[in-house]
Amino acid sequence: MFQQTNNPACGPRKLLTLVIAAMASFGLLAIPATSAGVVEAQGPADHDWVSIVNTYRAQSGLSPITENPSWSLGGQAHSCWMLLNGIAHDEAPGTAGYSVAGDEAGNSGNVAVSSDPTATARDQIDLWMSGPYHAIGILRSTLREAGYGGCSSPPNPSATPWKSGGTLDVIRGNDWGAPRPTVPVVFPGNGATTSLTRFVAETPDPRIDCGWNGQTVGLPLLALMPAGVSSATASLTGPTGPIPTCVLHASNTSGTASSILGGDNAVIVMPNAPLAA
C-alpha cells in the first residue's frame, strides 16, 4: 500500500464531458473539456520522472521543466529519512538519516511512501496526480525546474512499515513573478485519456469538504483559473449520463485546502463514484 494515495492499473477510460462555470473577478467562464479523470503519462520509462512530469504538463498545455540535480539528491535523502522515521515533510535534527538538504527537500515537495519496495517514480507521480492538492504543485504554470529522489530497502527494515519512498520538489523551482496564463489550465487536458479511475487519499482530504469522508470516489478533475474564484458549479457527463459531483474552491473550503486553492485560483470537481470504463 501507499501512504496517502496509490496507483490502480486499468485500461484507458471512455471520454467524459466536463463543464465548469466559475464566477471569478472577470465574470462567468465556461470551460469545456473531454477527459476521464487523471491522465496517465504514457511513453516514458517508469524511472524517467522528468519525462513523466513533462508528459502530464504537456497534456495540460504547460511548458516542460528541467531537473535540478542538487534538489534530486536532497529528495533522495528525505525519502530515505522517511523510511526510517515515517512520512513527514519536516526532518527533526538528530533523527536517523537527518540532513539539511533532505529537510529542505521535504519542506519543498510532494512526499509519498509505500510498503512495496519496487514502487517506481511513475507510481509515485501517478498517485500525486490523482490527489488534487498534490497535482496542483506539478501543474503550476510558474514551475521551471524540479528535483525528484526515491529510496527503497531501508537499512533498518523494522523502523517503519515503509519500504520505498519518493520526494518531488515542486516549490523552489517556481518563477513566482511570471504572469498567469490567460486561459484556464485544466487537468486532464482537453481530449486526453486516462487509465486511473479514483481518488484514494491525501492530506488535506477533499472528501471531507464534500461530506464524503471515507467514501470511494472518482478521480478529481482540476481547473486552474486566470483569476480568483468566488463561486463555481460543474456538470460531468459520462458514457451513461450525468455523474454527480462536488465542487471545491477557496471560498467553500478552509485552512490548508483553502490556501492552496486560493493561491492557484483552483477549482476541484470530485465525482462521487469511481469513473467507469
Residue 130: which CATH number? Answer: 3.40.33.10
Establish if 48 belongs to a structural domain.
no
Express each pLDDT in 198-209 by its tens digit: 898 799 999 999
Establish if 53 belongs to a structural domain.
no
Q: Within this chain, do residues 121 and 164 fall inside the same structural domain, yes or no?
A: yes
Express each pLDDT in 143-191 by its tens digit: 999 999 999 988 888 999 999 999 999 999 999 999 999 999 999 888 8
Establish if 47 belongs to a structural domain.
no
Establish if 55 belongs to a structural domain.
no
Q: Within this chain, do residues 132 and 215 fall inside the same structural domain, yes or no?
A: no
Residue of 197, 161, 186 whose CA lies nearest to 264: 186
98 contacts: CB under 8 Å, gap ≥ 6: 81, 91, 92
Q: Within this chain, do residues 142 and 190 fall inside the same structural domain, yes or no?
A: no
Reply yes or no on whether the pLDDT at 30 is more than 80: no
Confidence band of 21 (pLDDT split at 50, 70, 90): low
Establish if 238 belongs to a structural domain.
yes
In angstroms, rounded to a whole number, what is the distance separating the alpha carbons of residues 268 and 261?
Answer: 8
Q: Within this chain, do residues 205 and 248 fall inside the same structural domain, yes or no?
A: yes
Q: Within this chain, do residues 159 and 122 fall inside the same structural domain, yes or no?
A: yes
Q: Within this chain, do residues 69 and 140 fall inside the same structural domain, yes or no?
A: yes
Q: Within this chain, do residues 157 and 211 fall inside the same structural domain, yes or no?
A: no
Please say which residue of 107, 136, 169 terminates a domain: 169
Q: Within this chain, do residues 80 and 145 fall inside the same structural domain, yes or no?
A: yes
At 20 the pLDDT is 54
Q: Within this chain, do residues 158 and 68 fall inside the same structural domain, yes or no?
A: yes
Query: Domain containing 191: what range?
Result: 2-41+180-271
Q: Within this chain, do residues 162 and 70 fall inside the same structural domain, yes or no?
A: yes
If one counts the domains in the chain, the total is 2
Q: Within this chain, do residues 70 and 35 fall inside the same structural domain, yes or no?
A: no
DSSP alpha helix (H) spans, 49-188: 49-59, 69-85, 100-107, 121-129, 132-138
Establish if 11 belongs to a structural domain.
yes
Q: Within this chain, do residues 75 and 145 fall inside the same structural domain, yes or no?
A: yes
